[in-house]
Structure 1
Amino acid sequence: MQSKQNKNVQTNTKTKQFDDVQVGDKLPEKSIPITVALISNGALATRDFFPGHHDKDAAIALGSPHIFMNILTTNGLVQGFVEAWSGPQSIIENIDIKLGMPNYPGDTMVFMGEVTAKNPDNRTIEVGLAGKNQYGMHVTGTVRLVLP
C-alpha cells in the first residue's frame, strides 16, 4: 500500500552548512492550512485542556468565533518551518516567539523567514520569522540554531 504524501510538506533532507548561509537569505514560504484537527490535536498533545482550544461552544461563550490555536502548537509549527529549511543535522538552540492574531479553523497561515544574524564563533545563525493569516500576524519571532 502506498502512503499519501502531504504536498505542503517540503523537508530538506540535506542540512544547510554554516558557510553556505548568508545574512539576508530568505526561507521559502510555507502555507499551513488551519483545521479543527490541527488546533484540537495540538492542544491535546501538549496537554493544554483549555476549552477554547477544543470546544467550539466554550470558545464562543468566551467571545471567540471558533476554537483557536494554542502557543505550544504554534511553537511546534515554527520549529518545523525552520527545520524543514535547515535540515536534520541543525540544532535548534532557542525559539523566541510572540503571538498576535488568533489562528482559527479555515485560516491559512503563511510562514516567511530570513537569516538575520550569523556568528562564526559558535556557528549559530538567527532566523527572523513571521506567520500571517487573514487577520494579520499570528506569530513573530526569532529562532537561533547551530549549523555544521
Structure 2
Amino acid sequence: MPPTRGYDDVAVGEVLPELSVPLTRTLIVATALASRDYQDVHHDPGLARERGSEDIFMNILTSNGLVDRYVTGWAGPAAVVEAIRIRLGAPNYPGDTMVLTGTVTGKTDTGRRVEISVRGTNRLGAHVTGTVTVRLPEEAR
C-alpha cells in the first residue's frame, strides 16, 4: 500500500500524476446499477439515443467516485476526503478514455487541509471539473 502524503511534504502548484480510465460499457452500466441509478440513459442504448444522446453515458455518482479514487490514490490511505465539488460537462461514453489530472491549489494549516483542482477529459472535452479538499497527517505515514 502506498504511504499517505504528509501535509508538510505537499506544495501548492504540485501536479498530480495523470490517471487514464478506460470507459467500458460494463463500467458505465455496472457503476450506475451499483449506485442505484436506474435511469435508462445509463444502461439502454436505444432509449439513450431516443433522448438525444449518442449512447449510454456515465452517471454523476460514478464520476464523483472516480475523482475520489484519483485524489486518494495520490494522497494515500490515511488521507480524509472532506469535500468534493464537481461539475459535469461532456458525457463519458463507452469506448472513450477519461484522463484525470490535478494540481494542488491551496493549503490551510488549520486542520492540515489541501485543496486540489481536478479535471477529467475525454475526446469531447472536459467531462468533470472541480475541487477536492483532503485532510492530511502532519507527516507521511
TM category, shorter: over 0.9
2: CA distance, partners of 1:65 / 1:111: 23
2:92 counterpart SS class? coil
Offset at residue 75 of structure 1 (A): 0.3
Give the one of 96, 115, 120 matched to 2:85. 96
1:111 counterpart SS class? strand
Report the equivalent of 2:61: 72
1:97 counterpart SS class? strand
Report the equivalent of 1:133: 122
Structure 1 runs of 4+ aligned residues shifted over 2 Å read none
Report the equivalent of 2:30: 41
1:1-148 matched pairs, under 5 angstroms: 13-148=2-137
How many correspondences in the alignment?
A: 137
Letter in 2 for 1:28: P
1: CA distance, partners of 2:47 / 2:3: 44
2:29 counterpart SS class? helix
2: CA distance, partners of 1:128 / 1:120: 18
Offset at residue 13 of structure 1 (A): 1.4
Alignment gaps of 5+ in structure 2 = none
Q: Tell me the C-alpha RMSD between the 2 structures.
A: 0.7
- 1:19-77 deviation per Cα after TM superposition (whole angstroms, max 9, x unaligned): 00010000000100001011101100110000000111111111111100000000000
Letter in 1 for 2:74: W
Q: How many percent of aligned residue pairs carry the same amino acid?
A: 52
| Alignment TM-score, normalising by the size of structure 1 | 0.91
Letter in 2 for 1:59: A
